[in-house]
Structure formats: structure tokens, C-alpha cells
Chain A
């Protein structure tokens, strides 16, 4: 199966090997509740925007296969708790090809346009998270033929 590097970010915790799953974006609380009740959660890589814990954290005990965030750092609360649950996490990801869209607006905040672009690139894709490097996590898109 072909692989393509689609994004890199901050690696929360070093671990050998990779994990694979289908990306699912959670943008609102109802998405969180729905995912928590979905038996496929254990084969899901959760994609969320922020690094605060109260939004996406409730999902972690259900053991998703991985976590990708657009903001935050390993020292963010979500980073800390995902490490404690031993869930591979790549935070503050940047796309290999951002389509010419600026990540931050003039006010320094992440733009909705960029969030939508990342979601359009990653949501629904099968990816592998490579967290072997101490600092950098890599997200590979896997062509699973589906």
C-alpha cells in the first residue's frame, strides 16, 4: 500500500512502530458524544482543533488509536493526558501542502479557512502516525484501496 507524508507536528511521546486508523474530525460536542458511542472508536484517529482537554479528553478512555490536533503542545493538558493513556498524539500539525492557505490570521489566531482545509485533507482518510522521533510526529496517508 502506498504511503504519503501529509502532515508533521509535535510528537507527544516517543514510541517505536506506527499506528494506523481512519481519521475522524470532531468539531462540536455532539461529534464527541457520537464517537464515544461508536464501536469503531478503537480504529479511529481523532482529529480536533485545540489542545485543551475538556473537549476531546472524554474520548481518550475509549481508546482511539491516535490523536491529531491543529493547536497545542505536548505540555498542553490534552497532550499530557493522551501521553498518560499511551495514545499516540501529534499536535499542532502542519500540512505538507497547505494549499497556499495561511495557518494564522492577522490576529494570530488560527483561521477557520485553514481548519476547514486541514479537515478536508485528513477527515475520512486512513493514516499512519509515526511517533518514533522524540520531537516530531509524522502523519502518512495510506492508500488502502477503498
Chain B
């Protein structure tokens, strides 16, 4: 970010000044974790938290040499866990109040996926690192620095977050203790670190470390997308937002009510001071059987748009690490002034621009039909199948893009039972409904975080220690 605000420029640009504390999206709310001081949300929270950590791991921009180091120290792992805990609170605690799941038991499938991923992912992560080397993992992530690619910040973030959430889940349930599964935890954190470092390209591991910016596009793409946008009129503006909203809705349905089907990049500050957002939606995913309802849709659609920051009096624009744009004021849709539409037919085919009128004529009805069909399929699907399918959209869906690009997806399916639950995780299914475990414990203990669920590792714990006895 090089733009600096002047009196005539919108207020949100102030957020990129080094001494700016940002806007509080959760006024009065404070995150509390162990010995750390109370931490608010946003840019100020990031600064206070990082200033309170023991090591310098998150206080500077990391280098490739940092990423190549084979392990973290215990203090570094504990700093990462503390930051993860705040990050989850900062990004997700507002959403955790959404209550009744309605059709898809999302809290239940989230918990099941955390349980499974914690035990199963390390094997794949270690194997991929052995095959590709740490530089190969970095380059794998770099290959995603384009729109409409599931190798992105969202999916990379998920691999770290869900590992931490799985660990926390088992701590809450009393299945494990904080000093167990340390090699697995280390492997997952190193794998996540290499991916995020390679993808972001700014030396940071969370967008909150860089004032909630994820501008992970190579320069050629940024220029191309900027040039592609056309002014939206009273006639074309509603068409643009209707198509984008429909694609977003389809992506939520296809991914069973989670955010893996949509991610934002940006804000990219344009010459006129307005932010450009690059939003990709995934409308078809061939790895899921219910994606047959979307067989006529493209794999992904990208919507590039410019927001009139002065018109909406934009105070702050955050692109969270989970790839979601949040603004204050909240309503940016009515201030979108330019846009363009891009389509990627297959996960590995070229991205191409499609004129808005052509895209609307070609895809809008089909998207609506697919969404309706998936909805009806959900109404006829037994609850247990919805929970298992949902858990797979997390546990498989999060790591799938990296396996697929590396040419290892089929291998892991055929030889490592990728689409299976670990027996220990499978048993968690039966605990989900007891005492409202999934509906109360998961949102309140995990997404609001604390030192009890995101427990630090003991100072004298041996980092080689996994778990060798179930007693």
C-alpha cells in the first residue's frame, strides 16, 4: 500500500498509516487470553497482541530462511497458538451467534471435521513436504496468486486454523492433553506457514498483520483486472450485483453453508483512492457428488469491482484471512461503481473475461436452478449424511486444492483413504448431540477462544512426543 490520505481522500486510507489504530468493529469487546493484556479487535488488537508475545516470530516479516527451518521452538508454537486464538475471536465470534442451523447441521459437521482433520492431515502434510520439499510447498502456494483459484489465503488459513481447532476440541473433550501430538502439530504449523508465506508474498501469516490486506496477485493480474472494469449504470449495476449475489449463494449451497466457496482479495487502492475488490466464487466442485446439480456451471466466477469510497464514506475495509470483505459502514454494495466478470470453466483451465450481459444471459438461470436443486437435495438428505458431507467439505475440501495441483489427489484417495474418518474422530459424532456439545460448546469455547481450549505447551515438553498410550 503506497497511497496516503489527503483531506480530499476517503477516511479508509488512513488505516494504512503506520500509527493508525483502525476502527473497532466490536466496540467494547475484549479478548482475554492467559497472561496477555485485554486485546480488542482490529488493527489495534493485532498491534497489542503481537507486542505482548514472547518471541519475534510474528513481530517481523518472515523470510524464506525462517520458513525453511524444520521446526518451531515451544515459545514460538505458543505464540502462534495465542495469535490463532485471538484471530478466531477477531474473525468469527460475531458469526458464532447465528444460532439454529436450519437445514444443514453446520456446528455438528464443523466439530466432526475438526476432530478428523487433527488426526488425518499431518500424514498428508508430511508426505507432501517430503515429496516436494519446503520450497516446493512455497511454490505450490505461489501458483495460486491469481483469481478463481482454490489455492488461496482462505484455504491456506483453514489448514492452520482447523488443526488448532481440532487440538482445542480434544482438549475440551478431555481426550488429549496440551503436550501430546507435538510432532503432528509442528508439521501442520510448518506446512501452513510455508503455504501462507508463499501465497501472501509480504512476509506475514495473517491479513490482520498487514492491516487486513491480502493483495496476493502478481502485478500483471492486478493491472489486467483494473483495466477490465467498466462503469456500471442504473441498468447494468443491478445486473452485476444480482449475478454476483446469485453466484455467492450458489457457492454457499455447494459448500454446505461454509465460506470455502468464496474469497475476496484486496483492497487494491486505485489511483483515484477507491478500493478494488477481487471476489471469486466457486460454483461447481467436481470432488463433491452433489455438484452434479451444478454440472452446467463453470468451476469459478470472479467479480472485480470498484467501490466509491467517498460516496459510502468508507471508514475501514478489511479483507479477513478467511477471504471475507468487511466494511464500516457495512453496505458497500450500493456504492459499487465499476465491475467486470471472469469465468474459469475447469479448475485448471484459463480464466477469461466475459461481458456482463453475456454472463447474465448464460449463467444466471443455471445458477438459480442449481441452487434450488441443491436445496431440495438437502431437504431429502438424512441428517447424518449432511453432517458427514459437511465434514468432508472441510476436511477434504480445505486440503484438496493443494493435493490436486501437486498431482497427488488421486494417489491419496486410492492409497491413503482420504475420504475416510479416523476411528477416534468417528466416535466424536456420537458426542455432538450430548448436552448440546456442538451447538453450545463448539461456538462458545472454540470461536470465542481462551487459554483453556487453546492451551500453551509446557516449557519442558519434549517436541518429539506424540501420543503413545490411550489410557
Contact = CB atoms under 8 A, between A and B. Distances in A.
Interface stretch (A17-25, A93-101, A102-110, A122-130): A102-110
Interface string B307-337: 0000000000000000010100111011000
Contacts of A12: 330-331
Given A73-B95, A75-B326, A52 B101 contact: yes
A58 interface: yes
A71 B375 contact: no
Nearest to A76: B98
Interface residues of B, number: 41
Contact of A81 (B249, B376, B378): B249
B108 to A, nearest CB: 12
Given A73-B94, A75-B326, A54 B378 contact: yes
Interface residues of A, number: 44
Contacts of A32: 375
Interface in B344-385: 368, 371-372, 375-376, 378-379
A49 interface: yes
B245 A54 contact: no
Contacts of A61: 245-246, 249, 368, 371
Contacts of A55: 101-104
B98 A57 contact: no
Interface stretch (A39-47, A82-90, A138-146): A82-90
A117 B354 CA distance: 49
Interface of B is mostly: helix
A119 interface: no
A71 B99 contact: yes
B29 to A, nearest CB: 13
B256 interface: yes
Nearest to A84: B245
Closest 4 CB pairs of A and B: A55-B102, A71-B99, A51-B98, A13-B331
Interface of A: 11-15, 29-30, 32-33, 36, 48-58, 60-61, 70-78, 80-81, 83-86, 92, 107-110, 134
27 contacts: A11-B330, A12-B330, A12-B331, A14-B329, A14-B330, A33-B379, A50-B98, A51-B98, A52-B106, A54-B102, A61-B249, A71-B98, A72-B97, A72-B98, A72-B99, A73-B95, A75-B94, A75-B95, A75-B326, A77-B259, A81-B248, A83-B331, A84-B241, A108-B444, A109-B99, A110-B99, A134-B329
